[in-house]
Structure 1
C-alpha cells in the first residue's frame, strides 16, 4: 500500500514519545512518480517526480523552514533491496537531522508548509516511508 501522508495523530504520538531533549534523524524512503502529479489547474510545467522533489519541494521546504535548526544529513540512490517485502522498491534514501522532534513538527504543521512545500511532495512521490530515529547509547 502506497502512502504519502503523515497524519497529525502520528506526529502527536511521536512527539509524546520523544520529548524535546534529543536530536532526531528523519529517514525518508522515497519512490518517485514517473511524472509529478499536480492538482488540476496547476500552471507548473510538467516534470518528473524526482525533479519535483529536488527542484521544487526541497527549495520550498528550505524557505518554509528558514530560521529553524535542521540540516540535510545524507542522500543516497537505492540500488537494490537485499531484505524486504516482495516488490518493495525505493528510489532514494534522504536523511535529515533536527535538534529535536518539536522543530520538525513546527515545520510540518505550519500553514506555510501546507501551502508552499507539501503540494510538491505529494505531486512528486508515489510512495514514502518517513521514519523517526534517534541515536542510542551503545553498550561498552
Structure 2
C-alpha cells in the first residue's frame, strides 16, 4: 500500500530516487505466465509513465545474495533504481487512474512482495538533472 502520509512529509519538489526491491510469484496470479512475465508487462506500461513525468530508470538488476545483514526477509529477486524529478511526480504517477487501472494489476500479479524506499541523495557520481 502506498505510504502517502510518509511521502507527504518529504519535500514534494525535491528529486528522489526510488529503490525498488521485488520478490516475484513463481506464477503470475492471473495465470498468464510467471511472475517475471507479469513484471515485464508492468514495466512496459510504467516506463513510459515514468518518462512522461521526467523520470528515468537508473539501474535494474537481479538480486543475487545478501552480502551483509540478516538473510531472513531479504530474499529479493530484482532491484531497480528509478529517478523522479520530484516526489510530486512519483505521487502523480502512482495515484493516477491510468496507473491504477493499467499498470498496478500487473504489479500485483507479479510480486509476492514489492518494497519501494524513497531516497535522498547524499553522494553520486551520476549527474541526472
Q: Shared fold (TM-score greater than 0.5)? A: yes
Match of 2:80 among 94, 97, 101: 94
User: Take 2:61 and 2:107, find their aligned partners in 1: how far apart are those partners?
Assistant: 18
User: Take 2:111 and 2:123, find their aligned partners in 1: how far apart are those partners?
Assistant: 34
Match of 2:54 among 58, 69, 79: 69
Give the equivalent residue in structure 2 for 1:51.
37
Q: Aligned in 2, Cα 1:137/1:66: closer, same or farther, shift over 3 Å?
A: closer
Q: Structure 1: any 5+ residue segments left out of the alignment?
A: 39-44
Indicate the structure (1 or 2) with the bigger Cα radius of gyration. Answer: 1
- The offset of 1:66, in angstroms, is 5.5
Q: Aligned in 2, Cα 1:85/1:11: closer, same or farther, shift over 3 Å?
A: farther
Aligned residues: 123
- The offset of 1:14, in angstroms, is 1.4
Q: Structure 2: any 5+ residue segments left out of the alignment?
A: 125-129
User: Take 1:66 and 1:137, find their aligned partners in 2: how far apart are those partners?
Assistant: 23
1:30 matched to 2:27:
no
- The offset of 1:17, in angstroms, is 2.1
> How does 1:1-140 map onto structure 2 within 5 Å?
5-6=1-2, 10-20=3-13, 22-38=14-30, 46-54=32-40, 56-65=41-50, 67-82=52-67, 83-136=69-122
**TM-score normalised to structure 1 length:** 0.79
Moved more, 110-119 or 84-93: 84-93
**TM-score normalised to structure 2 length:** 0.85
User: Take 1:121 and 1:27, find their aligned partners in 2: how far apart are those partners?
Assistant: 16
